[in-house]
């Protein structure tokens, strides 16, 4: 008896995918667009430093904390329905952001935007899982989703830089609204509804514990990056980890858990989640440093630095395409690990630059990194969705993206701390006598202090050398961490699957 092949995607299905890529792009774009819009927003609304930190961070906090919950909710009420609800919420929050009249309104609107993003992100990925039954086509679709989701962080500053050349700062948020309108019109016609076949209660205690776990861990990482490892960071991290343990226990005992803990005993699933954490750690950690490096050490404007970063987006596209072409011929886990090793090689190239090195050398290493990340992220996304049962697609998508957010926070915290420590140590030893204290804290402070310094050239040389050393130290650490992760994933992925009966 011949086994029927799964149905192939139609032209309508591929059109539906194009529509789903739009919110995936915007969700990640709205994290990075604030980087380039920061000067205009702070000048217009004049937030305090604490208010600005909350405006920057609260979007990612809320989104990461709700991803698992919203993914599970979509499994129950319908993933398409949740996507449409999220579109309305995301559009309304974008309008509120664009016309915010003070820092308080900005913070509240960013929080609501995070809620909307938490409904959009897992809905898009889980719907991709349902729409593409053929494994090869699904891998291609996941690769396109990976490009949109990871590429948004690169596209955000570019679009923001162009808009700020001609319009006021609110335009960087207002552009979300037409996209949400397209979703509201097109999704009912192109995307079929999908949900879990059986009706079940929603695990509210589990949702609360997952919220506390993710929020606690990510807040601790971001607090450590800003203020160093202290009592607050350690205390909140311990609370988050305790909530994570309680959540795992709850999921094993709940009649209708949010997550099937047994999935983590499937090597392909757990290795893929680990790879996603590592990939986002690399992309976010270097991404934050790269724009500062280009704008200070190389003196580029925000728009110029964003345009220089365009090849890194191309690297992601090439990596995702390569993964889709090689996956039918090569085992998934070795290909995933190979992508991580390529990313580690990219970090090693970045670590070789100096203050006088041509910028294209730095970008070349960055492109190698994004190429490897594109391979790994595509394979990880495909393996995660394949390993999970279809009725859990929303929950698994939420878990996957929560891991990405955790990785992004880890990257910013770890790389930022290493770079800051190396900068402060280096400039303290080389700065001219009488240098302002602000110049000894950050490279941006050194650039500002150089305008008032007796010997600006000497101060800038010292600052740029120290900051470049910080970036290369972080890149070396990144290369080592990713190479170690690649080895661990390659070994772990070869273990036989073990699921509880």
Q: Return the structure tokens found at 80.
A: 């398409």
| Count of domains observed in the chain | 3
pLDDT of residue 296: 79
- Residue 500 is predicted with a pLDDT of 45
Residue 66: which CATH number? 1.20.1250.20
Q: 359-387 and 332-350 are packed helices; what angle lies between their axes, rounded to 10 degrees? A: 160
Mean pLDDT value across residues 329-358: 87
Tokens, residue 137: 């086509």
291 in a structural domain:
yes
Claim to verify: residue 215 and residue 110 sit in the same structural domain: no
Same-domain check for residues 197 and 212 = no
Residues 207 and 273 both lie in one domain: no
Task: Decide if 8 is inside a domain.
Answer: no
pLDDT at residue number 92: 93
Based on the fold, state whether residues 47 and 94 are members of the same structural domain: yes
Q: What one-character-per-residue DSSP string does 334-391 give?
A: HHHHHHHHHHHHHHHHHTT--TTS-HHHHHHHHHHHHHHHHHHHHHHHHHHHHHS-GG
Tokens 């273990």 correspond to 495
Tell me the pLDDT of the chain averaged across its residues. 79
Token pair, residue 104, equals 């308080």
> What percent of the chain is predicted at pLDDT more than 70?
86
Judge whether 152 lies within some domain. yes
**Residue 44 shares a structural domain with residue 187:** yes
Structure confidence at residue 499 as a pLDDT band (50, 70, 90):
very low
* Residue pLDDT, tens place only, 136-165: 787 788 778 877 877 776 677 777 777 877
Question: DSSP assignment, residue 454?
Answer: S
Is 1 part of any domain?
no
Based on the fold, state whether residues 277 and 132 are members of the same structural domain.
no
Q: Average pLDDT in the 158-184 region?
A: 84
pLDDT for residue 293: 83
Q: Domain check: are 285 and 247 in the same one? A: no
- Domain assignment present for residue 209? The answer is yes
pLDDT tens-place string over residues 57-90 = 778 778 877 877 787 777 777 888 888 998 999 9
Task: Kindly state the average pLDDT of the residues 12-34.
Answer: 83
Do 186 and 300 fall within a single domain?
A: no
Segment 180-191 shows an average pLDDT of 88
Residue 2: pLDDT over 50: no
Query: What's the mean pLDDT in 416-426?
Result: 80
pLDDT, position 226: 63
Query: What distance in Å separates the CA atoms of residue 254 and residue 459, rounded to the nearest whole number?
Result: 61
**Rounded mean pLDDT of 176-186?**
89
Contacts of 332 by beta carbon, 8 Å cutoff, 6+ apart: 268, 379, 382, 383, 493
The answer to whether residue 338 is domain-embedded is: yes
Higher-confidence position of 327 and 258: 327
User: Which tens digit of pLDDT belongs to each residue from 93-116?
Assistant: 999 998 988 888 988 998 899 888
First to last CA, the chain: 29
Contact 215, 65 (CB under 8 A): yes
Residues 233 and 91 in one domain: no
pLDDT interval class at 501 (50, 70, 90): very low
Where is the domain boundary, 255, 289, 321?
A: 255
Amino acid 315: pLDDT: 87
Report pLDDT for 199: 60
Residue 80 lies in a domain: yes
249 and 270 part of one domain: no
- Report yes or no on 298 lying in a domain: yes
pLDDT at 390: 61
d(CA 203, CA 89): 23
Q: Which of 79-88, 175-184, 361-370, 403-412 has the least mean pLDDT?
A: 403-412
List the single range of 230-244, 289-303, 470-484 with lowest mean pLDDT.
Answer: 289-303
Least confident of 285-299, 398-412, 473-487: 398-412
Whether pLDDT at 134 is above 60: yes
Domain range spanning residue 251?
203-255
Q: What is the pLDDT of residue 454?
A: 73
The conformational region for residue 228 under phi > 0 = left, psi -120 to 50 = alpha, else beta, is left
In this structure, the answer to whether residues 269 and 241 fall within a common structural domain is no
How does pLDDT run across 437-464, given as a tens digit for each residue?
Answer: 777 777 777 777 877 777 778 888 888 8
Q: Which of 34-48, 125-139, 175-189 has the highest mean pLDDT?
A: 175-189
pLDDT grade for 1, boundaries at 50, 70 and 90: very low
Q: Are residues 288 and 390 in the same domain?
A: yes
For 245-296, write each residue's pLDDT tens digit: 888 888 777 777 767 676 677 777 777 788 878 888 887 778 778 877 887 7
């Amino acid at each position: 008896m011949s086994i029927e092949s799964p149905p192939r995607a139609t032209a309508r299905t591929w059109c539906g995918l194009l529509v789903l890529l739009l919110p995936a792009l915007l969700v990640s774009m709205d994290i990075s667009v604030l980087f380039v819009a920061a000067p205009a927003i702070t000048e217009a609304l004049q937030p305090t430093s604490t208010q600005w930190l909350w405006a920057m961070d609260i979007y990612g906090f809320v989104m990461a904390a709700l991803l698992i919950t919203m993914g599970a909710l979509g499994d129950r009420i319908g993933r398409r329905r949740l996507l449409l609800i999220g579109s309305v919420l995301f559009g309304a929050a974008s309008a509120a952001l664009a016309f915010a009249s003070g820092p308080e309104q900005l913070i509240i609107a960013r929080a609501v935007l995070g809620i909307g993003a938490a409904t959009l992100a897992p809905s898009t990925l889980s719907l991709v899982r349902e729409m593409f039954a053929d494994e090869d086509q699904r891998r291609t679709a996941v690769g396109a989703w990976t490009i949109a989701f990871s590429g948004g962080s690169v596209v955000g500053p570019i679009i923001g830089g162009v808009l700020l050349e001609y319009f006021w700062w609110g335009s960087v948020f207002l552009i979300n609204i037409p996209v949400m309108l397209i979703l509201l019109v097109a999704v009912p016609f192109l995307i079929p509804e999908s949900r879990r076949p059986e009706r079940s209660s929603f695990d509210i205690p589990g949702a609360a514990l997952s919220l506390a776990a993710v929020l606690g861990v990510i807040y601790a990482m971001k607090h450590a990056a800003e203020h160093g490892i202290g009592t607050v960071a350690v205390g909140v991290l311990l609370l988050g980890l305790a909530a994570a343990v309680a959540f795992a226990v709850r999921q094993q005992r709940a009649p209708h858990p949010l997550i099937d803990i047994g999935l983590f005993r499937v090597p392909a699933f757990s290795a893929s989640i680990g790879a996603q954490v590592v990939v986002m750690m690399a992309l976010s950690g270097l991404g934050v440093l790269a724009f500062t490096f280009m704008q200070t050490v190389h003196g580029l404007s925000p728009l110029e630095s964003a345009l220089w970063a365009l090849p890194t987006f191309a690297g992601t596209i090439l990596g995702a395409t390569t993964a889709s072409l090689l996956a039918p011929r090569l085992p998934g886990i070795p290909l995933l690990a190979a992508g991580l090793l390529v990313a580690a090689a990219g970090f090693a190239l970045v670590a070789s630059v100096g203050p006088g090195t041509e910028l294209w050398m730095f970008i070349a290493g960055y492109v190698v990194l994004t190429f490897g990340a594109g391979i790994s992220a595509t394979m990880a996304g495909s393996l995660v969705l394949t390993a999970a049962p279809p009725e859990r697609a929303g929950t698994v998508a939420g878990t996957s993206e929560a891991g990405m957010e955790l990785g992004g926070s880890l990257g910013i915290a770890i790389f930022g701390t290493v770079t800051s420590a190396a900068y402060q140590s280096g400039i303290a030893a080389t700065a001219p006598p009488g240098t302002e204290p602000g110049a000894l804290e950050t490279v941006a402070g050194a650039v500002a202090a150089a305008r008032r310094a007796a010997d600006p050239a000497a101060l800038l040389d010292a600052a740029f050398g120290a900051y470049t050393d910080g970036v290369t130290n972080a890149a070396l650490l990144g290369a080592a961490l990713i190479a170690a992760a690649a080895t661990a994933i390659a070994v772990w992925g070869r273990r036989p699957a073990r699921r509880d009966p």
